[in-house]
Structure 1
Amino acid sequence: MADFGSTLPRRQVGRYLRELRQGAGLTIAELARRIERGATTVQRLETGTAERIRLWDIDAICRVCGADETTSGALKGLAQQGNTKSWWHQYGDLIPLNFDVYMGLEAAARKLTSFQELVPGLLQTPDYAWTLTRLAHPSEPDSEIARRVELRGRRQIMLTKKNDPVPFDVILDESVLHRVIGSRRIMEAQLRRLADLGTRTNIDIRILPFGVGVPLGDLTGPFTILDFEHPATAGSIDPPVVYAEGYTGAMYFDDLELIERYRRAHAGLWRVALGEQDSRKLLREKAREVAR
């Protein structure tokens, strides 16, 4: 059996390399010829099945495909982290701070299941996103903040597109409704947007009220389970991943036992969270309260 625990960074490298090649308008054979490697080598790199990734190959592909310095540095960092059991991505370590590692996984996901203590990026209004991004990166120029917010907005299309939008089941801790981000006006708009998005058939937003205490007897912290095939699809070749974000970095788990623990945790929180309609009602009530 393949050791999926060591493949996650390699799968990430593969996705980005494939996007770079396609963006440059090259076939696998053309790229292989230009970097003087075999087509099989390039194919294995793109599918995340290469047993060993040579940094020279990453450099060469990035150069031929016109990748910027940040992307090139990030892919080399990912390649060096390709043999760890549970992958810890520390910001500003091997991977540049302004490279969003998680985004590549999210873009490939076919279902997202999450518990959050802030509004997740996929559901944020531009003003809410700007406020948080500016606070997180106080020394960045406005142009960089705008780029990050625009990127976050483009990610949201996966939830709102007409054809086959990605299902998103998210539990929001009630603290999300009370913690003011930016201003009362920004919060009002954000809460109303959450209530509106919750009416979509693919988005299910539930509020975990303060009144239920700590249902699991311990705090999980924010997490997202990413599935890369539809739930009904058997034999997925791309196993699910749990993403647990922290202040200085993020954990990525693809150990099946750990993933199952997170699924059970989400199910336990889901059982005691407010129902879909009651959650929307609370969001709209809180929005009116904030507006007053």
Structure 2
Amino acid sequence: MAADQQAPSILGFPHRPEWGASAHRKALAGHLRRCRDHAQIEAKRAARCIDVSDAAISRLETGLATPEPAKVERLLDEYGVRDPAERARVAILVHEAAQPEIWQPYAHATPSTLRPLLAMEPAARRILSYEPQLVPGWLQTEEYARIVMRAVHPTRPAKEIAERVTMRMRRLEMLRRKTDPPSLLAVMDSEVFRRPVGAPGVMYRQIEHILALLAELPYRLRLQIAPLTVGAVGAIGHPIVHLRFFTPAYLPDMVYLEQYEGAVYREKPADSERYQAVLNNLCGVASPADQTPSLLREALDSWR
């Protein structure tokens, strides 16, 4: 170990319960991995230290396992972490990592492929989204969401559909919280507002809802509409969500790529930069955000 190599610190990651368990678990996972590397201890030795398998250490260091307080304490001892402030912050992260996830009350109705996005988005500083077919989930009305859910899952029981809708409605609340709410920049295909979802009144009320949200959250919500004349937009046929967090040193960007029956996540820096460039390009060709209210009012007139 180089004498001048600085020991990893977790003090830069704040205690923010509103960010959710996954954010704390991921930050802790990366910190434990860095501490082990700094101590020049192999994963096998760390596993023996707490009587677990090599695979269990891997899950712990990637945030896939909920850490046990006693085992984390033993790892800190093994890694030579003595600073009381560091250990106290780790203990806080361990506690928060064990709390219920936001989706857990609706676990049987929440697809496993969507859970990582739901779990991490409350910790985001900025959410960048592209939606080619539908109104983004954060902005949907309850009736719009119910019709969409039923169309995608025609055989699901009514109770499950209702719980999925409730979960979707809850996602907007993070934009309304008083402490460090995320900002949402959404880009939508203009055809979303021409595509019937339910009766005409459903679309009318949906557009009214978005206009109200833009007025309510002017500094947290920005919406851009990509016109049909921009042919490049149609080449991207699936939704994309790019999350950037308040603490990038501890939480790397996350990219969510939605598919019909699943999703793909990307967290490598090269992938994040690539999709960031794709979304930036979409923002560049879409109508400016200050034109969105007038475009929405035009769409509203068409549904009268």
Instruction: Give TM-score, length-normalised by structure 1.
Output: 0.65
| Change in 2 beyond 3 A, CA 1:166/1:143 | same
- Which residue number corresponds to residue 219 of structure 1? 236
Aligned partners of 2:131 and 2:240 also within 8 Å: yes
CA distance in 1, matches of 2:236, 2:99: 44
Aligned length: 221
| Partner Cα separation in structure 1 for residue 213 and residue 255 of structure 2 | 24
In structure 2, the residue matched to 1:203 is 221
Tell me, in whole angstroms, the C-alpha distance in 2 between the residues paired with 1:50 and 1:132.
Answer: 38
Name the structure 1 match of 2:296: 283
> CA contact under 8 A between 1:111 and 1:166: conserved in structure 2?
yes
Does the 8 A contact of 1:17 with 1:46 survive in 2?
Answer: no
C-alpha separation in 1, matches of 2:261 and 2:268: 22
Provide structure 1 residue ranges, at least 5 long, that are not aligned to the other structure: 1-13, 19-37, 58-64, 75-94
Contact 2:109 2:161 in 1 (8 A): no
Superposition RMSD in Å: 3.7
Separation in 1 of the partners of 2:23 and 2:250?
18
Question: Per-residue displacement from partner, 1:22-50 (whole Å, max 9, x unpaired)?
Answer: xxxxxxxxxxxxxxxx9998xxx899643
What residue in structure 2 maps to residue 108 of structure 1?
Answer: 123
SS of the residue corresponding to residue 261 of structure 1 reads: helix
Q: By how many angstroms is 1:129 displaced?
A: 0.5
Change (3 A) 1:220 1:240: farther
- Secondary structure of the residue aligned to 1:221 is coil
Within the candidate set 152, 156, 176, 1:140 is matched to: 156
Letter in 1 for 2:172: Q
**Shift, 1:185, TM fit:** 0.5
Q: Tell me whether 1:120 sits opposite 2:136 in the alignment.
A: yes
Question: Does the 8 Å CA contact 1:15/1:46 hold for their aligned counterparts?
Answer: no
Question: What is residue 270 of structure 1 aligned with on the other side?
Answer: 283
The Cα offsets for residues 100-154 of structure 1, whole Å up to 9 and x where unpaired, read as 4231122332220111121111110000110011112222222221111111111
CA 1:191–1:39 in 2, change beyond 3 Å: closer, same or farther?
farther
Q: What letter is aligned with 1:109? A: A
Larger Rg belongs to:
2
Q: Who is 2:22 aligned against?
A: 15
SS of the equivalent of 1:284 reads helix
46 and 151 in structure 1: CA distance in 2 versus 1, 3 angstrom threshold: farther
Is contact 2:109-2:163 (8 Å) kept?
A: no
CA contact (8 A) 2:239 2:257 kept: yes
Gaps of 5+ in 2: 1-20, 26-48, 69-97
Look up the match of 1:34.
Answer: none
For 1:144-165, what per-residue CA distance to the aligned partner results, in whole angstroms no more than 9, with x for missing partners?
2111111111111011234432
Contact in 2 for aligned 1:130/1:149 (Cα 8 Å): yes
Change in CA separation of 1:213 and 1:97 when aligned onto 2, cut-off 3 Å: same
The residue type equivalent to 1:197 in the other structure is L
Counterpart in the other structure of 1:174: 190
- The residue identity in structure 1 corresponding to 2:261 is T
Determine whether 1:50 maps to 2:33: no
Report how far residue 212 of structure 1 moved: 2.2
Matching residue's letter, 2:165 = V
Q: Judge conservation of contact 2:127–2:243 (CA < 8 Å) in 1.
A: yes
Alignment of structure 1 residues 5-44 onto 2, 5 Å: 15=22
